[in-house]
Structure 1
C-alpha cells in the first residue's frame, strides 16, 4: 500500500549485456530480502541510461525476452484496483482466462471470439473486445506516423517502436537530419529511450524542450515585425 523505497543496484561499467542486468537485479533482490519492488524503483531512474548502454543485439534480446517482465513489475496495479478485481472475481462477475486470441467475428449481439486457452480452442460470445496489451509493436501501423515516414519527413527507430530522434527529441528525417520544427515526446521515443511512458519522464522531456520552442517562436515573431 505504501510506495517502495528505491534500492541501489550495483551494475558493471562499460558495455552492458542483458545477462548482466538480470544478474544484478536478482542479486539486489536477494540482498534486500526479496524486496523486488524497491529494486525496480532503484532501477527506474537509470533505465534510459541503461538502455543506451545496451548494443543493438542486446536491445533486441531485451525486447524479445525481458521487456514484458520489466513492464509487469514496473507498472504495478494500485492496491485499490487490485481489491476491486478480487471482489469481482469472488462475486463471480469476472473470470480471468489465459490464452491467445485467434480470431473474432461479429454476431447479432456482439462478437464471437475464438481463443487458444492453454492449448484448447474455445469460442466465447462477448459484448466487447478491448485490446489493453499496451503500445503497438510497430510505429508504421499508425496512419499519421506512416505518412510522415513515407514522405521522408521522419523515419522509424531501428526497432520500429517509435520515431528516430536526436537527444533533444528532434525527429530525424529519412537521411538522418534532425528537424527544426518536428519533435517527439513520450512513447514516440521508446526506441531511443525505452522507459518514456510515465509522467515523470515525459515532464522532464517537455521541460527541456520548452525553452527551445519558445526561442524559435520568439525569433519568428521578431522576423515578422515590420522594420521602422
Structure 2
C-alpha cells in the first residue's frame, strides 16, 4: 500500500481517482497531495464550460463517477429536477457541478477518517521518478511521495504547420478554442469565421458563437467534411453482446479484416450504433492485439470514421446544427489547411480541396482551430510533460497517442516501467485507445485505487 500519493491534474480523471481512494476507507491513514493546476478542482477543460448549449454526448444514466454507484450522476441531477430521465443528454455545466460536489464529499470523508489531503492550486514544475518513489518539484518546494499519478487530460493544443506567427499574434487565428470561448464578447463580432476541424469541439464552438454573433457565418473545413453522427432519440439496448464479432476480430487482428467484419455485422443489425456500442467494453483488448503497423493504418484511413461514429452528439444538438446549415449560416467544406497569414485586416488562408492538388485562397475574419484532443507528447507545450520527455523519464508513443505505458498504467522509459509513476486518461491512449470518456475513466480510477491501496 502506498501511503503518500500525489495526483497531478485538475480534471475529472484526477477527481475520480481522489474520490475512489477516499471512498475505500483504507485502514491506514493516507497523505494525498492533489495538484490541480489552479482550475476549479474536478471540472478541468471538459466540464469547465458554463454554457447550457454544451451538452454531454453520453446519456445521464451512464455518467456516474463510480463504477460501484451507477446512478450517481442521475441521482444528483434528479435532486434538482425530478423530471430528468436517465436517457437525457444534460448540460456539461451540470456534470461539472456533480464533480465538484463529489470532491467536496470526498474531502469531508477524508477529514472525518483522519487522512491528510492537500488540494494544491498550482502546477507541478517537474518530476523525478526513482525506484523508491517520485520527487515532485513545485516552485521552491521538493516533495517525495511513494507514488504519483498523472491525470492531465488533453495536452495544450498546438498550431498546425503553415500557420504564421503573425497570424497567431494577431489574435485572428485561435489555437485554443476553450480559452477563446470563455472570453468571447458580442462586440466586435466577425462576419466570417472559419473552423479547422469538424468534430464535437467544432460543434460546441459553432453553437456558442452563432448565438453570440447572430450575423456571423461559419465555414468548417475538414478532410471529409462530415459532422459527427447523432445518437438515436430513444435509447436502445443491444440485441446481443457482440461476442461473435469480437471473437472474429480477435482472430484476425488486421484493419482490412476488421472493416469487413464490421460491415457484415452492421448489415445484420437493426442499427449500426448497436454494433459500435457493443464493441466498447472490448476496445482496449482489441487495440492491444492490433500490430503497430495496423494501428498506424487505422489512424491514417479509418480513425475519422470511427471517431464520428463512436463519439456521437445528442440528437437535439444535431437538430441545431442542421438548422444553422439550412439557414445558410453554417457550411462544410472538404479541404485541408496549408497556410494562414495576416493580410490587411483579415486572414488569408491557403486550402486544398479534398481530391485536388490545386490550392485555393480563402479570406476570413477569424479562424478557430477545432481539431480535437491533443495527445502528442513529442510536440507539446505542456511544461511538465516536456520536462519528463526531455529528461528521458517517459517514452512518447510512436504514433503520438500519449506515452508508452503498461496496461496497469505504469509509465515506461527505455523499455522499462517505472514502479511508482502512473498515468490515467488521455496519456494512455496508445495503450487502450479508448481512454478519455467517463465510462473508461471511472474504470481506470477504480483499478488504480486498488493498485495504490494494495488490493
Same fold, judged at TM 0.5 (above): yes
Corresponding residue for residue 269 of structure 2: 32
- The aligned runs of 1:118-157 (5 Å cut-off) are 118=354, 119=356, 120-136=358-374, 138-143=376-381, 144=383, 145-157=385-397
How many matched pairs?
A: 213
Q: Tell me the SS of whatever aligns to 1:162.
A: coil
Provide TM-score, normalisation by structure 2: 0.44
**Match for residue 189 of structure 1?**
428
Structure 1 window deviating more from structure 2 (66-75 vs 53-62): it is: 53-62
Query: What runs of 5+ residues in structure 2 fail to find an aligned partner?
Result: 1-232
The structural deviation recorded for 1:105 is 0.9
User: Which of the pair has the greater relative contact order for Cα pairs under 8 Å at 6+ separation?
Assistant: 2
Which residue of structure 2 aligns with residue 168 of structure 1? Answer: 408
> Going by fraction, where is helix more abundant, 1 or 2?
1
- Verify the 8 A CA contact 2:349 2:361 in the aligned structure 1: yes
Q: What's the counterpart of residue 320 of structure 2? A: 84
**8 Å contact from structure 2 (residues 252, 258) kept in 1:** no
Cα deviations by residue, 1:60-111 (Å, 9 ceiling, x for unpaired):
2222222221111111222111111111122221122221101101244342
**Per-residue CA shift, 1:32-51, capped at 9, x if unaligned?**
25x11111111111111111
Q: How far did 1:213 drift?
A: 4.0
Are residue 68 (structure 1) and residue 304 (structure 2) matched?
A: yes
Structure 1 residue 192 displacement after superposition: 0.9
Query: How do 1:217-228 and structure 2 match up within 5 A?
Result: none
The runs of 5 or more residues in structure 1 that have no matched partner are 216-228
Where 1:113 maps in the other structure, the secondary structure is strand
**Of Structure 1 and Structure 2, which has the larger fraction of its residues in strand?**
2
Give the secondary structure class of the aligned counterpart of 1:77: coil
Describe the shift of the 1:28–1:14 C-alpha distance in structure 2 as closer, same or farther (beyond 3 A): closer
C-alpha distance in 1, partners of 2:390/2:414? 9
- SS of 1:153's equivalent in the other structure is coil
Cα 1:4–1:156 shift into 2, 3 Å: farther
**Correspondence 1:5 to 2:237:** yes
Question: TM-score normalized by structure 1?
Answer: 0.83
The 8 Å contact of residues 105 and 113 in structure 1, kept in 2 or not, is answered as yes
- Report the Cα distance in structure 1 between the residues aligned to 2:444 and 2:292, rounded to whole angstroms: 24
